[in-house]
Amino acid sequence: MSITKKLITWYSKNKRDLPWRETTDPFKIWLSEIIMQQTRIEQGTSYYLKFVDEFASVEELAIAPEDKIMRMWQGLGYYSRARNLHAAARQIKNQYEGQFPVSYKELIKLKGVGDYTAAAIASITNNEAVPAVDGNVKRVIARLFDIRDDISTAKTYNTIKNISAQLITKDDPGTFNQALMDFGALRCTPKNPKCTDCPLSEHCLAMQSGMVQELPVKYNRTKKKYRYFNFLILELKNGKQDFFYILQRTEKDIWNRLFQFPLIESEQLLKENALIKELSKRIPDAEAGELTISRQYKHLLSHQIIFAQFIRIRLKNEPQKIPSQWIKIPKHKIVDYGIPRLIDQYLKTEYF
């Protein structure tokens, strides 16, 4: 029996029961694909359910405010996906009259939809025989064909895509693509792959050459950058309500479009004296009262390691000379804003 047939058979018995496998609605398939990019099923599923519950159609998503989408995406990471999701929804509303495109050719034009995602959606919703090559597929095919080249290069990507194009079935390409991915996720795993009784072992060249554990090969390790964040929580009591200041991140940097407390980035975490000096430099007319420094947090990102501390400062007066982008909000309203995980965890464990 061919690799393809064995794979399809394996899939019919072992496929994962996932919410978006109950539909071929391109809107829902697209949502699931964007949410699951570089994300584990266990992490992304609740977000998928939340989004399909909140937005019945791509048009509803298109007219939603961006801040609402960012709030809903909070905690999922890679926030450019959320911004691109919104942009793509507006593209579809404006250029396709709300009719979701299903061909690879049109899908690839959407913001946030690259080669993998366009192929996945087109194969599932439009029966196009286009190979969807994700991390799972790269690994499975690298092992099956004993490909020892660096899988992070475009050349190897094309090699693998061509092989998958040879294997894909024209009658049910969506199932084939998903079968290959599930096989990688459940069976041909990065570590400790289940090679015993593997239905594809007789086809597996890496198995024959003893290279399974060494594949796939991936170079290109970039060093992580260290950063030090001092967040200022400037607290105001105004009558009965408690307020503090937040602002939106808008630079080409991490956490773009999320909200945060006023930030002082430094070479090392600052001590109390330096903090007071920085505060008076930034807000000359502020009268600081009690000052409390949190524990030190270490927050890991894909390319950065962030050390952070949060400094609560009671203000005795309401300063006038504050930066224009700062927003004064009642503390409890912070739940309406999308914030980074780091800040969310601080607020939940130490602040509220």
Catalytic residue numbers read 33
Site string for DNA, 150-169 (x = CB under 7 A): ---xxx--------------
Site string for DNA, 1-40 (x = CB under 7 A): ---------------x-x-xx----------xx--xxxxx
Q: Tell me which stretch binds DNA (CB under 7 A): 60-68, 72-80, 98-106, 164-172.
A: 72-80
Work out whether 139 is an interface residue with DNA (CB under 7 A): yes
Work out whether 184 is an interface residue with DNA (CB under 7 A): yes
Work out whether 190 is an interface residue with DNA (CB under 7 A): yes
Q: Tell me which stretch binds DNA (CB under 7 A): 41-49, 58-66, 199-207, 232-240.
A: 41-49
Measured over all CA atoms, what is the biggest interatomic distance in the chain, rounded to whole angstroms?
79
Q: At 287, list the tokens.
A: 């009268």
Distance, in Å, from the CA atom of 328 to the CA atom of 126, rounded to the nearest integer, reads 49
Q: Which residues contact 91 (CB under 8 A, 6 or more apart)?
A: 109, 110, 111
The interface with DNA within residues 206-235 (CB under 7 A) comprises 218, 220-222, 225-226
Q: Tell me which stretch binds DNA (CB under 7 A): 91-99, 159-167, 182-190, 239-247.
A: 182-190
Distance, in Å, from the CA atom of 21 to the CA atom of 41, rounded to the nearest integer, reads 13
Work out whether 196 is an interface residue with DNA (CB under 7 A): no
Measured between alpha carbons, how far apart are the two ends of the chain, in Å? Answer: 61
Work out whether 300 is an interface residue with DNA (CB under 7 A): yes
Q: Is there a contact between 74 and 258 (Cβ–Cβ < 8 Å)?
A: yes
Among 152, 148, 139, 222, residue whose Cα is nearest residue 188: 139
Work out whether 118 is an interface residue with DNA (CB under 7 A): yes
Return the C-alpha torsion angle 203, 205, 209, 212, nearest 10. Answer: -100
